[in-house]
Amino acid sequence: MADEKKSGVNRRDFLKAAATTPVLGAFGLSIYEKSRRDKSGREEILQIGRKSSNSNPNILKRNYKRSASANDTLNIGIVGCGGRGKSLLRAAGFHPPSEQDDRGLEGQEKLNLRLTAVCDLFTPSIEWAVAASGGQAKVYKTFHELMENSDVDAVICATSDHYHAPVTIAAANAGKHVYCEKCMTKTIPEAFAVREAVKRNGVVFQLGHQNRHSTHYDSAMDVVDKGMLGKITLIQCYTNRNSRNGAWVYDIPKEQGPMSAPDGARNVDWDQYIANTVQRPYDPSRFFRWRCFWDYGTGLSGDLLTHELDVINMVMNLGIPTTCMASGGIYYHKEYTTLMTKDGEPLDSDVPVPDGALPRPDVPVLRREVPDVYQVTYEFADLDLTVVYNATLSNEWGRGQIYLGSEAAMDLSQGVNVYADSQSKMYKKWLDSGSVKPDEPIISFRDVAGKGIEAITAATAQWTVSKGLLYTYRGGRLVNTTYLHIKDWIEHIRDGNQNSMCNIDDGFQEAITAHMATYSYRYGTRVRWDAQNEQIKFDAADRELLDQLVTVS
């Protein structure tokens, strides 16, 4: 009796014990069905676009594979070692022993370079560069003398904009490869001259748009190439900054003065600085804050618009726009008085002003010439496309590029997100069935916050990661994009391949596009590019007709 009861209890017990197992089975089935649906839905959507058209040459330039394995040491010279120049050298692996390695370089391949030549107009910068070279670099007073040195294979040019063309041309004519910072030139005729010199001499040229390496653009190019947005007719791009540093009001060192002065610091070669532009008496703001002045810089056009337009050009393979109209003004950063503490120490441009701060007697009030709020509209008439650039240096709201197509929109502000248009025909089936909603991305590429992620906290730093100006994520790890860009240049030099990531044709297009905006802004007219004859023209208004329209009789 006991046995019988026991076995009966066991079987019944077991049934009751396992009662919830079917629920586990139901769980498994639900998961299977859901992931099957998600996967096929995703595959269906990804099949929507046409097959890759391979019409965008920029796609082929990504993930460049070395053709040779030559890795001989290359000798680098630097002309212009200011703020950007130092960043470039750090990315290339050079810094004074007292400094640390830059972020985003951990675990990256060494480039096997030697810094052998330095040319700069500010003595402390020269000293920094020599220290960064390990003490062995030779110093040249002028860049012409540097170019005569056969011990330099390639030159990095990070001078103010008004010297980009002269230095690049001199380097190319001396058979040296060039990495030139943006904007490629300061004027339109210079763009032609640089292109001619680089092509004639067959040197490897790289223009300083390191943001091309941001992985966001891999996805963006793919999406556009597959036609997933339909017909794109409007692209918006932006710059937002809101700091003195962001508005190019850089620090002025305590010890500074022209070499031609009878006394004082005498560490600025002012005469050489203004040699190819308007002669003026020494003004530290014009030297250290050169971006604020038309004599030496190209304003928002050359500094930040070029980053945006160059990348859009890469994604869409656009070329030079047909027409351009720009407007803007100096609305916020009107005047700046450089301060010092009451003990005479210079104040950092981003530190809040302490009590008792006084105006520095050695720095006149800065009144910039370049606008701080700027709008540019480019028409690409043959491509049925408008690109609008919109910038402010007094607001830091994060805005990313947006590509607006007839079937979908692609938003690059946080990673890459593609949203089906609610009126889309291509995605109608999925919109109707509810598996795609207009306010949720159908495709979303995010920087994979993988293992070993880096915490980027400051708002400006987040902005520079999302735009790829400082860093990008590769395999879950933060990588310095400037390093990637220099590496791309060096690899092309070693392979004898001129098709670098941002080559001379890209540079020419960038320069013309930027200058069209500057000319439109400064001279108040619509600028036109005659692609056939490669000429800039200015649209003239029919004055008589217009006057008639507005005459009050």
Partner 1 sequence: MNDESALDGTSRKFSGVQQFFLACLRVIVGWHFLYEGWVKITQTGWSSAGYLRAAQGPFAAFFTLLARTPWIINVVDWVMAWGLALAGVMLMLGLFTRLGGIIALVFLLLFYLSNPPWIGVQFMPGEGSYLIVNKNLVELAAVMILLVFPAGLAWGFDRLFANE
| Window contacting partner 1 (CB under 8 A); options: 19-27, 137-145, 371-379, 428-436 | 19-27
449 interacts with partner 1 by CB under 8 A: yes
Six token digits for residue 273: 């600085």
- Helix axes of 188-201 and 164-173: crossing angle, nearest 10 degrees: 20
Q: Tell me the closest approach of the beta carbon of residue 99 to partner 1, in angstroms.
A: 23
Q: DSSP for 452-489?
A: T-----SHHHHHHHHTTSSEEEETTEEEEHHHHHHHHH
Q: Tell me the closest approach of the beta carbon of residue 52 to partner 1, in angstroms.
A: 23
Measure Cα distances from 371 to 252, 323, 392, 415, 553 in Å.
21, 21, 9, 30, 38
Six token digits for residue 553: 């009789």
Q: Give CA angle at 327 (324, 329), nearest 5°.
A: 150
Which one-letter DSSP state was computed for residue 258? B
Residues in contact with partner 1, counted by CB under 8 A, come to a total of: 22
Q: How far apart are CA 354 and CA 347, in angstroms?
A: 9
329 interacts with partner 1 by CB under 8 A: no
14 interacts with partner 1 by CB under 8 A: yes
Query: What are the phi and psi torsion angles at 223 (to 5°)?
Result: -60, -45
The answer to whether 240 and 254 are in contact (CB under 8 A) is no
The answer to whether 542 and 550 are in contact (CB under 8 A) is no
20 interacts with partner 1 by CB under 8 A: yes
Among 51, 65, 451, 543, indicate the residue that binds partner 1 (CB under 8 A).
451
Among 13, 151, 382, 539, indicate the residue that binds partner 1 (CB under 8 A).
13
Q: Which is nearer to partner 1, 32 or 538 (CB)?
A: 32
Q: Which is nearer to partner 1, 60 or 449 (CB)?
A: 449
| Window contacting partner 1 (CB under 8 A); options: 44-52, 216-224, 232-240, 452-460 | 452-460
Q: Give CA angle at 77 (72, 83), nearest 5°.
A: 125
Rule CB under 8 A: which of 336-355 touch partner 1? none
Report the candidate in 57, 77, 175 with the shortest Cα–Cα distance to residue 506.
57
Q: Which is nearer to partner 1, 344 or 450 (CB)?
A: 450
x/- track of binding to partner 1 for residues 466-495 (CB under 8 A):
----------x-------------------
Q: Tell me the closest approach of the beta carbon of residue 475 to partner 1, in angstroms.
A: 10
Q: Tell me the closest approach of the beta carbon of residue 416 to partner 1, in angstroms.
A: 15
Q: How far apart are CA 209 and CA 202, in angstroms?
A: 21
Q: Which is nearer to partner 1, 21 or 98 (CB)?
A: 21
Q: Which is nearer to partner 1, 311 or 456 (CB)?
A: 456
Q: Which is nearer to partner 1, 12 or 50 (CB)?
A: 12
Q: Which is nearer to partner 1, 21 or 551 (CB)?
A: 21
Measure Cα distances from 517 to 188, 246, 368, 378, 486 in Å.
11, 20, 18, 8, 28
Which residue has 């217009």 as its token pair?
A: 546
Rule CB under 8 A: which of 23-42 touch partner 1? 23-24, 27, 31, 35
Which residues are near partner 1 by CB under 8 A? 9, 13-14, 16-21, 23-24, 27, 31, 35, 448-453, 455, 476
